[in-house]
Structure 1
């Protein structure tokens, strides 16, 4: 039954992505010359992400839904309470399948589609044009930088991992704007399209500062659809057209067994007081909203508190504070 699984949730890097079959005909995109990327590049954020990726505890349902999104080339919309691992899932998949650094796009109410696609330093380009003789070749591409979404849609031979974090905080139009890019696997950079007659190819920096991406005639065309994780804390509803084109996964509140596995994965065996703190955490969670990372903080703090007689309940009070505003 598990033979079809590309992502296995083991945390051990492997080359299973090579076994991913061709996409369904309605999700096949372009056959442009493939762009290479460093599959073992650093995560691009901080040293904490490799640990989170390795320590992530994926349950069987999560593993199946990740593989469903991979096979169907559809975005994975992940919902759940704060701290259940929605964002960490993207890093776990990138680590296990060796798909390079995660391309993270944090969403706010002011985020627009163009923010995710590319940036253009028009002032820098004009200043150079004023200083450069007309006959001198100009590297126009260095005034552009692809955003996280734009980089994910570049013609890579293997899928990149794109994390669109907290999409429920976006303006009402952004989910529908994303649909067109995800459906067509294509977007245009008008500033490059306008000079396509004199500049066929431009070498543009990707969001992760990896190898430059060759863009022909100002068009960015997807070759391998990225593995897209869209996280939501449930602060808004999404249009039916958007939901229809996503694979949906709800991450439940971790059970006591999963909490023990998470604590062990992050902090190891050397946490003799962990069981007491897990019991305290479960008791408090039944009365108000708490996040799993608060438990990890409590276990870490209690480990380093001085003295064997330290009141673990008092240590827990320092960090196990309810997230519900009406419980503060």
Structure 2
């Protein structure tokens, strides 16, 4: 891959050097890139950033618990065809009119290389990844209803995210390039925050980062705050005009950072980091 067509960090997406390297390796090898990491580490946003950096279209497949592998390839709309045959006046003999390509199917059929995001693959049934093995290997699929085979003219860049809710099959893992996105350290998080809040004063950011990472270190917190919650919290503090001195003692708007009643109660019982006040 030429240097000007490689993925790079941008003003809107701060990527580590390791992540940049692994993305470009997956693109060059034409292998699916499997991304894991705790919520808030930018897994889903990565695909958009890669698409913008490589100047390729992005197709997104948000996987649900009811999703089937075929949904990403095509769907045969039998219900619409039945309704048209009963109530419509047109010709329903052409089954192709009722075949709708999914994100992978569109990427295979297109004449331009595309980014395909398969988001949260571990939400689906355990057989879901195995059902995609042939298509990911051959980059083609068959539509029995029409007898048509669609093969990729240009292999898409496939980015797959997982929250590790389920173990993925070994056969599927062997076909992927894998990367775990570590939670950002304080220096990298500061860069991320400044992307979203470029005009907020440095003292406020510094105070917020100290409190944020202190919260994440508390063992009694079950759902630790993520990047998106930090960004929202800093925005709320800036708009409210709360004095920095209050932030030194308290953590205002705690409900933006913590979303479980047990976590809020545990911290209220413990008290503020300085031991001088309760959280609000």
Q: Same fold (TM over 0.5)?
A: yes
> Structure 1 residues 233 and 5 mapped into 2: Cα distance closer, same or farther (>3 Å)?
farther
Distance across 2 between alignment mates of 1:133 and 1:316: 59
Q: Is there any run of 5+ residues in structure 1 with no aligned partner, and where?
A: 12-53, 194-217
1:318 paired with 2:255, answer yes
- Measured at CA, do residues 223 and 3 of structure 1 come closer, stay the same or move farther in structure 2, by a change above 3 Å? closer
Distance in 1, Cα, partners of 2:68 & 2:253: 41
Structure 2 unaligned blocks of 5 or more = 265-280
The 3-state SS of whatever aligns with 1:69 is: helix
Match of 2:119 among 165, 172, 177: 165
Equivalent residues of 2:41, 2:183 under 8 A apart: yes
The offset of 1:140, in angstroms, is 5.3
- The aligned residue for residue 261 of structure 1 is 191
In the TM superposition, what are the counterparts of 1:11-90 in structure 2 within 5 Å? 11=10, 55-90=12-47
2:225 to 249, 268, 290: 290
Task: Please report the RMSD computed on the Cα atoms of aligned residues, expressed in angstroms.
Answer: 2.6
1:70 to partner: Cα distance: 0.4
Per the alignment, do residues 225 and 326 of structure 1 end up closer, same or farther by CA in structure 2, a change over 3 Å counting? farther
Alpha-carbon deviation of 1:235?
1.8
- The question of whether the paired residues in 2 share the 8 Å contact of 1:153 and 1:220 is answered with yes
Aligned pairs for 1:221-236 within 5 A? 221-236=151-166
Return 225-234 or 81-90, whichever deviates more: 225-234
| 2:7 and 2:54 in contact (8 A); partners too | no
Secondary structure, counterpart of 2:111 in structure 1: coil
Equivalences for residues 194-213 of structure 1 within 5 A: none
Deviation of 1:82 after TM superposition, in Å, equals: 0.7
Equivalent in 111, 116, 138 of residue 156 of structure 1: 111
Tell me the residue number matched to 2:271.
Answer: none
Residue 268 of structure 2 corresponds to none
Task: Report if aligned partners of 1:185, 1:222 keep a CA contact under 8 Å in 2.
Answer: yes
CA drift of 1:322 comes to 6.3
User: Does the CA-based 8 Å contact 1:277-1:316 persist in structure 2?
Assistant: no
How far the C-alpha of 1:156 sits from its partner, in A, is 2.4
So what's the TM-score if we normalise by structure 1? Answer: 0.71
Instruction: Give the distance between the partners of 1:248 and 1:326, measured in 2 at CA.
Output: 34
TM-score by length of 2: 0.82
Residue 110, structure 1, aligned to residue 66, structure 2 = yes
Distance 1:185 1:3 in 2: 24
**Residue 41 (structure 1) aligns with:** none
Say yes or no: does 1:95 pair with 2:49. no
Q: Deviations over 1:37-66 (max 9, x none)?
A: xxxxxxxxxxxxxxxxx5111111001100
**Which residue of the other structure, out of 235, 246, 250, is the alignment partner of 2:180?**
250
Query: How far off is 1:149 after superposition?
Result: 2.1
Report the alpha carbon displacement of residue 314 of structure 1 after superposing the two structures with TM. 3.4
Once the 2 structures are TM-superposed, how far is the Cα of residue 143 of structure 1 from its aligned partner?
2.6
Q: Which has the higher helix share?
A: 2
- Aligned positions, number: 256
- Residue 154 of structure 1 contacts residue 221 of structure 1 at CA under 8 Å; is this kept in 2? yes
8 A Cα contact 2:61 2:117, kept in partner: yes
